[in-house]
């Protein structure tokens, strides 16, 4: 039982390149989300999904796309990377009926855009 | 909107010292409150939680009490260890996906 698996752990992109950050879970949780963590700013919600086929925007969605075709996977796409997207990205999941029990986080993807 | 305010860090303590990290919140209704811990190079891990007023969450020697009258959820530990060095995040959840995090407080414990 791996919980939440994020790949890759590290990535360097050139400005304008595209890439997909992967998030996979084996806990059968309905709710999945992407956060970015920047120094002095805590965690900010990018996009989230309450189930397969359903996604919505969070606090900082610009420059990112998501889709949710299965319960297990919730990829985050950067269409044209910018230096402002240099950050650490976390995927977090929650059991819909147990949201008050907190979230389970992946170990993060550290992205640098040069 | 909802907000969480944590004390500025870093906090540097000697081993076996008493720890308090302050957290206050602003939210309507009755949020659930959490402390998460992040060790270097890792994701956040749930440390403890409280779901209603006057609840006390505890785990690994850490405690926090949900004080609705002061809108606070301060984290305490009686005797810190070097292994407690990490970044601590206070957070609230109101509703299904409405999560608000504080900016984090870095704790460094020196032998």
Confidence class for position B30, pLDDT limits 50, 70, 90: confident
Spell out which residues of chain A touch residue B95, defining contact as CB-CB under 8 Å: 99
B52-78 burial, b if ≥16 CB within 10 A, otherwise e?
eeeeebeeeebbbbbbeeebbbbbebe
pLDDT per residue as tens, chain A (114 positions): 579 999 999 999 999 999 999 999 999 999 999 999 998 788 999 999 989 999 999 989 999 999 999 999 999 999 999 999 999 999 999 887 666 678 899 999 999 999
A47-62 exposure pattern, b = at least 16 Cβ within 10 A, e = fewer: bbbbebeebeebebbe
Task: Give the mean pLDDT of chain B.
Answer: 93
Mean pLDDT of the region B99-105: 90
Indicate the residue of B34, B49, B103 with minimum beta-carbon distance to A41.
B103
Which of B32, B97, B102 is closest, CB to CB, to A42?
B102
* Amino acid A98: pLDDT: 65
Q: Please name the residue that has the structure tokens 């039982």.
A: A1
- Is residue A106 classed exposed, middle or buried when 0-12, 13-18 and 19+ CB atoms within 10 A define those classes? buried
Distance in Å, alpha carbon of A16 to nearest chain B alpha carbon? 27
Closest residue on chain B to A102 (Cα): B46
pLDDT at residue B29 in the model: 81
Cβ of A96 and B89 within 8 Å? no
Pick B8 or A9 by higher pLDDT: A9
pLDDT in tens, B33-71: 999 999 988 889 999 999 999 999 999 999 999 999 999
- From A41, A42, A96, residue closest to B96, measured CB to CB: A96
């Amino acid at each position: 039982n791996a919980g939440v698996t994020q790949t890759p752990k590290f990535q360097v992109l050139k400005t304008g390149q595209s890439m997909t950050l992967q998030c996979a879970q084996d806990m059968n949780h309905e709710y999945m989300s992407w956060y970015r963590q920047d120094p002095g700013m805590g965690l900010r919600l990018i996009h989230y999904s309450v189930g397969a086929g359903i996604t919505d925007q969070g606090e900082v969605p610009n420059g990112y796309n998501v889709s949710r075709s299965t319960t297990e996977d919730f990829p985050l796409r950067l269409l044209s990377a910018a230096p402002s997207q240099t950050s650490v990205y976390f995927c977090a999941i929650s059991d819909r009926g147990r949201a008050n029990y907190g979230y389970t986080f992946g170990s993060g993807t550290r992205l640098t855009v040069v | 909107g909802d907000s969480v305010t944590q004390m500025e860090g870093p906090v540097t303590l000697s081993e076996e010292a008493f720890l308090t990290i302050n957290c206050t919140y602003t939210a309507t209704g009755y949020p659930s409150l959490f402390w998460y811990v992040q060790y270097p190079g890792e994701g956040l891990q749930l440390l403890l939680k409280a779901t209603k007023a006057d609840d006390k969450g505890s785990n690994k020697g850490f405690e926090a009490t949900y004080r609705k009258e002061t809108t606070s959820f301060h984290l305490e530990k009686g005797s810190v260890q070097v292994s407690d060095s990490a970044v601590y995040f206070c957070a609230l959840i109101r509703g299904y996906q409405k999560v608000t995090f504080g900016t984090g407080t870095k704790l460094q414990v020196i032998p």
